[in-house]
Amino acid sequence: MSQGVAPNEGAAEIAAHHGQNVLEIIDLRTHFFTQVGVVRAVDGVSYSVRAGETLGVVGESGCGKSVTALSVLRLVASPPGRIVGGAIRFGGSNLLDLSESEMEAIRGNEISMIFQEPMTSLNPLMTVGHQIGEAIALHQGLSANDAMDRAVEMLRRVSIPEPERRVHAYPHQLSGGMRQRVMIAMALSCNPKVLIADEPTTALDVTIQAQILELMRELQETFGTAIMLITHDMGVVAENADRVVVMYAGRKVEEADAKTLFEAPGHPYTRGLLGSIPKLDVAARLDAHRNRLTEIKGMVPSLHNLPKGCTFAPRCEFATGQCHAAYPPLVQYRPGHTIACWHAERLLAVPL
Amino acid sequence: MTGPAATATPGNGVQPLVEVRDLKKHFPILKGVFARPAGMVYAVDGVSFHIDPGETLGLVGESGCGKSTVGRTLLKLLEPTAGQIIIRGEDITGHDQGQMLPYRRQMQMIYQDPYASLNPRMSAGEIVGEPFAIHRIADGAERRDRVAALFERVGLRPELMNAYPHEFSGGQRQRIGIARALALNPELVVGDEPVSALDVSIQAQIINLLMDLQDEFKLSYLFVAHDLAVVEHLSHRVAVMYLGRIVELTDKTSLFDMPLHPYTEALLSAVPIPKYSARSRERVILRGDVPSPINPPAGCHFHERCPYAHARCREEAPALREVVPGHFAACHLHDSGVKFPLEKPAAANGA
């Protein structure tokens, strides 16, 4: 029973390569061909995930952050979706060139994913032990008994009380937080190099969210897994990510280390986003009159009818003629700090 | 002993708009063909508070704590099991539908999901104008003008009056819901998670709108939400609920600076703050899940997860008491005066 989930035998190797890219997304284009036209959900996005780090990917609904993740695992529903361009480099190959069976050997094994709503991603007719064991048996060729022992061990790793008993439970018998722990146990059961977490705590209460985020930090330290943390919650990113990618309307608009992104952001969208969130410590200080939040006027453009030029320009207070005429290139303004804005240099000079 | 009713009696001499005293709402769990009661959900289990004119009281808590049920029961959309609801000094607890009608005009609600709370077969203009029809107030051209004025006030173009809900974005639908709530010039608006389904940039627009409307129309809000940062931003005072009871109630600055209930302390420390410097702060991480309101733990409902719990907490439910003037908390730790920061009971443990 003590198969022992040894911390990834590659953990030392990962540590030695800490900071090297394990996953590279290059100029990815994922479009949806619908009756109302082509929806450019992801339109030329590039970013990399480095060994052992947590990369935060933030943006509002429809910005393409989840579609990017699904594209990495080639899980975009087709039709209507199709990856129409770009490359995804992982372990020396381009995932977009692999056959379906080659992809199956990677999914849930070398790259795994956890989703927002664990109830819809767990099979309600199978015990959680069976579901965790299934992935282990498939990818690691263990017998059913050994796989079940390993499942118990994984449940213990994610701090589920009485794992020997809970391994026989069905998903509906567990609370939301417990189900998300099961999802994490399943995702980490094969020691993946990359874990994609898509809004992993959005459906949970804050005290449970704090438990799950702490668990993810602990497991990352033990296993050395690189985490791609996709979320709309800037607070979750600020407290967990090493680096951050900000997306807007299908494109990456800014990328920086977490400290820079939160203390000296350059893109007007990032700055607007940070200004529009009520902050607990500030809110408590406000007098009876309460300050107004900084608004980003208007709304996200529809993806099949994007404005010409910079897609953020219609909502941007700094927009000029140049912005409405042409989309700005992504430029590295400081080491590791990339921004797609014609006025970035000027904005960087102004403190937040 | 200062009972829970103390919160209902404001010290400043102003007559509160709303007073709620020891409100309870229990839902029977029905089983079998004959729908025999097989148990009880203690959704709201003895809650008292007041709201002053022009004030926002925030009601915060995790799923299942009963915060939405408080909002609905206050508007008598649900019949209270026990307790009193007093509007401007008049007890409306026993009022029937007919007697409630004049009060309905003064008390409105904004819902969380702007997709589910608007009738898809009615145009936006009809939805906002419906309160006028129900209360037979304005007709024809006059109604159209008043609806158009409401549209403008909440930031919608009046041309959109003929559009149907599916033609609007989430933020615009929430504006329609707000316009409908404002139609009859209410005094009290209950917002049940009115911004939690919206993206942050849109959320900021709606929060600002709600604050502007409050100043303009001197509205009182009961703002029900799970997001502590949003609640603190909008509220003057905040009540924290846990499993059907208010565990702490005070002005927002005191709540943040000097949380006197262990649950509030944990909640404040669990909320992620969007600042890089927030990483280094100390966190209290609670063990376990929120227990079910069907079979709540004996004594203090929070004792199973509380890092400070001692023997008495397992047996006796603490009353909500005024620990510091204006600052109420339901916790045995404060029996012998204010304890802040909270300190774990020493040898008394487990006795």
- Residues B158-185: pLDDT tens digits? 999 999 999 898 889 999 999 999 999 9
A312-331 residue pLDDT tens:
999 999 999 999 999 999 99
* Range with lowest mean pLDDT among A234-238, B134-138, B269-273: B134-138
Question: Two tokens at B32?
Answer: 């079998």
**What is the spatial distance between Cα B190 and Cα B109, in angstroms, rounded to a whole number?**
5
Higher pLDDT, B60 or A142: B60
Residue B12: band (very low, low, confident or very high) from pLDDT cuts 50, 70, 90: low
Shortest CB distance from A238 goes to which of B204, B234, B278?
Answer: B278
Cβ atoms within 10 Å, residue A74: 17
Among residues A88, A60, A330, the alpha carbon closest in space to that of B170 is found at A60
Q: How confident is the model at residue B6 (pLDDT cuts 50, 70, 90)?
A: very low
As a whole number of angstroms, the distance between CA B186 and CA B108 comes to: 6
What's the average model confidence in pLDDT over A169-195?
A: 90
Per the CB < 8 A criterion, the answer to whether B227 and B309 are in contact is no
CA atoms of B299 and B310, how far apart (whole Å): 11
Chain CA centroid to CA A306, Å: 24
pLDDT at residue A298 tops 60: yes
Give the residue from chain B lying closest to A264, CA to CA. Answer: B276
Yes or no, beta carbons of B279 and A238 under 8 Å apart: yes
Mean pLDDT, rounded, for B233-244 = 95
| A350 contacts chain B (CB < 8 A) | no
Q: What is the pLDDT of residue B348?
A: 44
CA angle (A45 as vertex; A42, A49 as ends), nearest 5: 120
What pLDDT is recorded for position B334?
94
The order of strands in the sheet holding A21-34 is: A37-50, A21-34, A81-90, A93-94
Query: What pLDDT is stored for residue B345 in this prediction?
Result: 60
Asked if residue B347 has pLDDT above 60, the reply is: no
Cβ contact (<8 Å) for B255 and A284?
Answer: yes
Q: Is A96 touching B (CB cutoff 8 A)? A: no
Mean pLDDT rounded to a whole number for chain A: 89
- Window 207-236 of A: residues touching B by CB (8 A cutoff) are 207-211, 213-214, 232-236
pLDDT at A17: 53
Strands A81-90 and A93-94: antiparallel
Q: What is the pLDDT of residues A67-96, one digit of tens each?
A: 999 999 999 988 899 999 999 999 999 999
Instruction: Tell me the residue ranges of DSSP E strands in A81-237.
Output: 81-90, 93-94, 111-114, 194-198, 226-231
Q: Which residues of B touch A264 (CB under 8 A)?
A: none
> Which stretches does DSSP call E strand in A162-240?
194-198, 226-231
The pLDDT of B136-164, averaged and rounded, is 92
Rounded CA separation A131/A128 (Å): 5
pLDDT at A287: 65
Mean pLDDT over B117-144 rounds to 92
Residue that the structure tokens 């009281």 belong to: B57
Put simply, the answer to whether A283 touches B232 (Cβ < 8 Å) is yes
Residues 282-311 of A with CB under 8 A from B: 283-286, 288, 290, 292-297, 299-300
Give, as one character, the DSSP assignment of residue B35.
T
Using the predicted structure, report yes or no on whether residue B327 has a pLDDT greater than 80.
yes
Q: Do A281 and B273 touch (CB under 8 A)?
A: yes
Round to whole Å and give the CA distance between A326 and A319.
Answer: 11
CA distance B280 to chain A (A): 9
pLDDT reading at B197 higher than 90? no
- What does the pLDDT read at residue A279? 87
DSSP A249-306: TTEEEEEEEHHHHHHS--SHHHHHHHHHS--HHHHHH--TT-PPPPP--S-PPPTTSP
Yes or no, beta carbons of B274 and A234 under 8 Å apart: yes
Residue A13 has pLDDT above 70, yes or no: no
A51-55, A68-72, A186-190: least confident range: A186-190
**Looking at beta carbons, which residues of chain B come within 8 Å of A259?**
276
Q: Out of A50-54, A171-175, A237-241, A287-291, pick the least confident.
A: A287-291
The helix/strand/coil state of B263 is: helix
Kindly report the number of other CB atoms within 10 A of residue B340's CB atom: 15
For residue B351, what are its two tokens? Answer: 């006795």
Confidence of residue B7 (pLDDT cuts 50, 70, 90): very low
Q: Which residues of B touch A214 (CB under 8 A)?
A: 283, 285
Lowest-confidence pick of A7-11, A244-248, B116-120: A7-11
Q: Which residue has the higher pLDDT, A305 or B44?
A: B44
Residues B139 and A346: their CA atoms lie apart, in Å, by: 55
CA A71 distance to own-chain centroid:
12
Range scoring the smallest mean pLDDT among A19-28, A129-138, A193-202, A277-286: A277-286
> Best residue in B60, B220, B233 to probe A by mutation, most A CBs within 10 Å?
B233
Local confidence band at B266 (pLDDT 50, 70, 90 cut-offs): very high
Amino acid symbol at B131: P
Q: How many Cα atoms occupy the beta-carbon half-sphere of B283 within 13 Å?
A: 18
Query: Distances from the Cα of B116 to the Cαs of B78, B120, B275, in angstroms?
Result: 19, 9, 34
pLDDT at B338: 86
d(CA A160, CA A177): 10
Residues from chain A that touch B207, judged by Cβ atoms under 8 A, are 278, 293
Cβ-contact A328, A342 below 8 angstroms: yes
CB contact under 8 A, A276 and B230: no
Q: What is the mean pLDDT of residues B108-136?
A: 90
Size of interface A-B (CB pairs under 8 A): 141
Orientation angle between helical segments B170-182 and B200-217, nearest 10 degrees:
10
Task: Let me know how long chain A is.
Answer: 352
User: Which residue would you say has higher pLDDT here, A42 or B13?
Assistant: A42
Picking from B169, B208, B270, the nearest residue to A292 by CB comes out as B208
Cα dihedral sign for A330, A333, A338, A342? negative
Q: How many CB atoms lie within 10 A of CB B281?
A: 11
Determine the 3-state secondary structure of B28 from DSSP. strand
To the nearest whole Å, the CA of A265 is away from the closest chain B CA by 12
Q: Which of B252, B261, B277, B193 is nearest to B227 (CA)?
A: B193
Burial class (CB in 10 A: 0-12, 13-18, 19+), A275: middle
Interface test with B, best of A61, A202, A207, A234 (most B CBs within 10 A): A207
Q: Are A247 and A64 in contact (CB under 8 A)?
A: yes
Task: Find which of A36, A174, A206 to mutate to test the B interface (most B CBs within 10 Å of its CB).
Answer: A206
Q: Which residues of A298-315 are buried (b: 16+ CB within 10 A; e: fewer)?
A: ebbbebeebeebbbbbeb
Q: Is the pLDDT score of B11 beyond 80?
A: no
Question: In the prediction, which pLDDT does A9 show?
Answer: 46
Give the confidence band of A4 by pLDDT, cuts at 50, 70, 90: very low
Phi, psi of B247 (to 5 degrees): -100, -20
Give φ, ψ of A52 to 5 degrees: 75, 0
Identify the residue among A63, A174, A205 best suited for mutation to test binding to B, counting B beta carbons within 10 A and taking the highest: A205
Q: Distance between CA atoms of B166 and B145, rounded to whole angstroms?
A: 23
Q: Give the nearest partner residue to B273 out of A209, A279, A300, using CB atoms.
A: A279
Cβ distance of B266 and A207 shorter than 8 Å: yes
Q: Is B338 in a helix, a strand, or coil?
A: coil
Q: Give the chain B residue whose CA is nearest to the CA of A272.
A: B201
Predicted complex ipTM: 0.86
| Helical segments of chain B, H only | 67-74, 97-106, 124-134, 140-153, 170-182, 200-217, 228-234, 252-257, 262-270, 311-315
pLDDT of residue B346: 56
Q: How confident is the model at residue A1 (pLDDT cuts 50, 70, 90)?
A: very low
Compare all CA atoms of chain B with the CA of A210 and give the residue at the minimum distance: B270
Note whether A172 contacts B: Cβ–Cβ < 8 A. Answer: no
Residue A242 sits at the chain B interface (C-beta within 8 Å): no
A57, two tokens: 């990917």
CB contact under 8 A, A278 and B269: no
Phi (first) and psi of residue B21, to 5 degrees: -120, 120
Q: Does residue B116 carry a pLDDT above 90?
A: no
Going by pLDDT thresholds of 50, 70 and 90, the confidence category of residue B1 is very low
Does any CB of chain B come closer than 8 Å to the CB of residue A277? yes
Q: Do A205 and B171 touch (CB under 8 A)?
A: no
Among the ranges given (A104-118, A287-301, A318-332), the one the predictor scored with the smallest mean pLDDT: A287-301
What would the two tokens of residue B347 be?
């040898």
Residue pointed to by tokens 């129309």: B217
| DSSP strands (E only) in chain A | 21-34, 37-50, 54-58, 81-90, 93-94, 111-114, 194-198, 226-231, 243-248, 251-257, 331-334, 337-339
